[in-house]
């Protein structure tokens, strides 16, 4: 008869965790990995602060400027799973170094950009490099540092880079843009990336390669589908003449092609034996709900920094440095709130925070929608900023834990990286959609103000001179129109955040016990069963508190899920971690419940 047993003995570390000279270079290895993560995280916020300067230098339109952010997000999010898979098949150190060199070369190219197309191609290439760096960086922590205190400390430093790096990027972007040039927000990556790549060859050990295949059709159709969808949305914006472009051939064609490609992607993943996205991963109700929530929240919140950066610099007249400092309370509130939630979630449960968080975020974004050209930082921005950040800070930790709960061992890498993918893809779609709403409202308002001025002049017996084609409207007119457009965008964003609340209420049914770290009961073979079967059972480990098993102690499909004693929040934090679109990860985010990682227990007869 089979019996159910559980133990508390910790599993042995992976064989390659401290092999060779790894022990001698753990400190340098951590510096290398943390520097790479910091560089990728910095890029999200450091570029945002420089956006108005980039717009003036290269002549971007409002909707065109969005692509400076979107080009990076689309390629990063679309290729993240492929980047992790590449590390598994070709060697993680090799892909890590290649990603660093691609990111550095793209940064150098972007810094020298003298046209819009040049810069956007460079940003897309940065996304490719980031998609190679993000999953392999975390996987290298798992394979370089032995489980226990060394790995826990490494994960703590890694999480700090995700959280603190975003705040550093805000200030660094302001300093570089104010005192040097917007080009230096790209140039700064070059020496860091090259130095880290060179050091990586000497302090990081290469991982063993695995057999398998790349799902290139899935990666191509998925990324291209998202890119075309974003392109179609961003080109549908109403122009300054008040003409809507939803019926334009390029818009209709792009959106139709996007639908075809995304449906094709779904069919490929359904039939492929080497799918990047096994559909069983999103079939679980709680996990699927968590991914949908991240998608909708990213759609709503990616516009916060984009439009507020433009508002505080163009309307309030803030310098790049002052605008960077102005957003620090947002970053700090998310960090503090995430830390509080990580300590309470074991006692309160995830569902409470996953419902209250979106509600608070919705209130904050609705408050933002009352913005006007007369708004000041103190009376109209800091309040909704803190409320929105508090709501987001409540969400990220439970969202990450639920997304990784009860995942099969071979799927844990995919499950962990999907949060990042959803964040980047949702952000790209959201920025395009909210940008279309915002810039359409701006154009319509400028036209409305011009009509009002003409009517008033006609009533006074005067006639206004006809505006010159392509001429910019007066500053007062544009400031009012920009405030109206951003207000409309935040109103739509509040509605999208409300949808995340609806999803949490309808789909999330996770219990406190599911994330409490209770031992998992496993059926063991009877005493009279063959020894070979018993041996197979002995090699299976159950990750307590996470609910996924990893046979033979090996890593999952993409091997950037947490193993041993330190569990990562998402498995793959990427440039933005599991945090807001600009990289504000919470403290203790690298740990399990109550800041502690889930232990593993070996199953023995």
- The contacts of residue 175 (CB under 8 Å, 6+ apart) are 321, 324
Is residue 177 in a domain? yes
- The contacts of residue 24 (CB under 8 Å, 6+ apart) are none
Asked if residues 144 and 23 have their Cβ atoms less than 8 Å apart, the reply is no
- Measuring CA to CA, which residue among 333, 390, 328, 401 is closest to residue 365? 390
Q: Averaged over 561-584, what is the pLDDT?
A: 36
> What length does the chain have?
605
Q: How far apart are CA 267 and CA 259, in angstroms?
A: 12
The residues pairing with 602 across neighbouring beta strands, listed in sequence order, are: 541
Whole-number pLDDT of residue 125: 94
What percent of the chain has pLDDT above 70? 70
Residues 241 and 390 in one domain: no
Residues 161 and 65 in one domain: yes
The per-residue pLDDT for range 522-549, each reduced to its tens digit, is 333 344 443 333 333 333 333 333 333 3
Residue 21 pLDDT class (50, 70, 90 cuts): very low
Q: How far apart are CA 292 and CA 299, in angstroms?
A: 11
Asked if residues 368 and 438 have their Cβ atoms less than 8 Å apart, the reply is no
Residues 355 and 300 in one domain: yes
Residues 63 and 183 in one domain: yes
The per-residue pLDDT for range 234-279, each reduced to its tens digit, is 777 665 555 666 777 888 898 899 899 989 988 888 888 777 777 7
Task: Name residue, tokens 């916020």.
Answer: 45
Q: How far apart are CA 450 and CA 446, in angstroms?
A: 6
The per-residue pLDDT for range 344-397, each reduced to its tens digit, is 887 888 888 889 999 999 999 999 999 988 899 998 899 999 999 899 888 877
- The contacts of residue 517 (CB under 8 Å, 6+ apart) are 346, 544, 545, 592, 593, 598, 599
**Last residue of some domain: 250, 273, 296?**
273
Asked if residues 100 and 196 have their Cβ atoms less than 8 Å apart, the reply is yes
Residues 245 and 132 in one domain: no
Is residue 467 in a domain? no
Q: How far apart are CA 358 and CA 42, in angstroms?
A: 26
Is residue 1 in a domain? no
**Burial (0-12, 13-18, 19+ Cβ within 10 Å), 465:** exposed
Range of the domain at 519: 9-215+274-450+473-602
Q: What is the pTM of this model?
A: 0.69
Residues 229 and 200 in one domain: no
Is residue 100 in a domain? yes
Q: How far apart are CA 420 and CA 413, in angstroms?
A: 12
Residues 22 and 106 in one domain: yes
Residues 154 and 266 in one domain: no
Is residue 320 in a domain? yes
Residues 300 and 428 in one domain: yes
Between helices 350-368 and 285-314, what is the axis angle to 10°?
A: 30
What percent of the chain has pLDDT above 90? 15
Using DSSP, state whether 328 is helix, strand or coil: helix
Asked if residues 499 and 299 have their Cβ atoms less than 8 Å apart, the reply is no
The per-residue pLDDT for range 424-461, each reduced to its tens digit, is 788 788 888 888 888 888 888 888 777 777 777 767 77
Is residue 468 in a domain? no
Could you give the number of structural domains in the chain?
2
Residues 261 and 329 in one domain: no
């Amino acid at each position: 008869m089979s019996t159910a047993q559980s133990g508390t003995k910790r599993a042995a570390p992976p064989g390659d965790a401290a092999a060779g000279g790894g022990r001698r270079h753990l400190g340098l290895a951590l510096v290398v990995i943390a520097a790479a993560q910091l560089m990728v995280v910095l890029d999200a916020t450091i570029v945002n602060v420089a956006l108005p300067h980039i717009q003036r230098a290269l002549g971007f339109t409002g909707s065109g400027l969005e692509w400076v952010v979107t080009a990076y997000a689309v390629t990063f999010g679309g290729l993240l799973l492929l980047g992790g898979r590449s590390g598994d098949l070709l060697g993680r150190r090799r892909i890590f170094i290649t990603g660093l060199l691609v990111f550095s070369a793209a940064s150098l190219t972007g810094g020298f950009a003298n046209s819009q197309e040049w810069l956007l191609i460079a940003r897309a290439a940065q996304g490719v490099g980031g998609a190679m760096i993000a999953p392999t960086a975390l996987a290298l922590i798992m394979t370089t540092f032995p489980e226990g205190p060394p790995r826990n400390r490494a994960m703590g430093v890694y999480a700090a880079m995700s959280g603190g790096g975003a705040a550093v990027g805000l200030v660094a972007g302001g300093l570089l843009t104010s005192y040097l040039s917007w080009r230096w927000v790209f140039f700064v990556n070059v020496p860091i990336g090259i130095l880290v790549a060179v050091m990586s060859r000497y302090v990081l050990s290469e991982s063993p390669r695995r057999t398998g295949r790349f799902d290139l059709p899935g990666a191509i159709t998925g990324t291209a589908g998202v890119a075309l969808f974003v392109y179609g949305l961003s080109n549908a914006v109403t122009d300054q003449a008040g003409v809507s472009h939803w019926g334009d051939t390029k818009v209709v064609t792009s959106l139709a092609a996007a639908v075809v490609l995304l449906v094709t992607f779904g069919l490929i993943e359904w039939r492929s034996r080497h799918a990047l996205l096994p559909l069983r991963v999103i079939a679980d109700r709680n996990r699927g709900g968590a991914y949908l929530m991240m998608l909708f929240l990213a759609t709503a919140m990616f516009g916060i920094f984009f439009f507020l950066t433009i508002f505080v610099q163009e309307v309030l007249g803030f310098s790049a440095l002052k605008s960077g400092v102005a957003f620090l309370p947002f970053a700090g509130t998310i960090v503090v709130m995430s830390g509080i939630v990580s300590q309470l979630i074991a006692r309160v449960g995830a569902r409470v925070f996953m419902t209250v968080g979106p509600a608070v975020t919705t209130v904050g974004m609705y408050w933002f929608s009352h913005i006007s050209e007369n708004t000041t930082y103190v009376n109209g921005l800091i309040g909704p900023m803190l409320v929105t950040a508090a709501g987001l800070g409540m969400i990220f930790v439970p969202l990450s834990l639920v997304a990784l709960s009860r995942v099969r061992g071979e799927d844990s890498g995919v499950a962990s990286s999907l949060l990042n993918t959803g964040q980047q893809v949702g952000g790209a779609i959201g920025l395009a959609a909210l940008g279309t709403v915002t810039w359409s409202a701006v154009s319509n308002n400028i036209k409305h103000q011009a009509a009002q001025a003409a009517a008033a002049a006609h009533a006074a017996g005067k006639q206004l001179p006809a505006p010159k084609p392509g001429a910019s409207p007066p500053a007062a007119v544009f400031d009012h129109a920009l405030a109206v457009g951003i207000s409309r965008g935040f109103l739509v964003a509040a509605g999208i955040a409300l949808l995340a609340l609806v999803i949490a209420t309808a789909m999330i049914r996770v219990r406190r016990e599911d994330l409490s770290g209770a031992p998992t009961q496993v059926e063991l073979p009877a005493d009279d069963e063959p020894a070979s079967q018993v041996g197979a059972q002995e090699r299976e480990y159950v990750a307590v508190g996470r609910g996924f098993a990893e046979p033979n102690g090996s890593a999952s499909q993409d091997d950037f899920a947490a193993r041993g004693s330190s569990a990562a929040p998402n498995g793959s934090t990427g440039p933005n971690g599991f945090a807001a679109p600009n990289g504000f990860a919470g403290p203790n985010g690298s740990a399990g419940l109550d800041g502690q990682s889930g232990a593993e227990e070996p199953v023995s007869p």
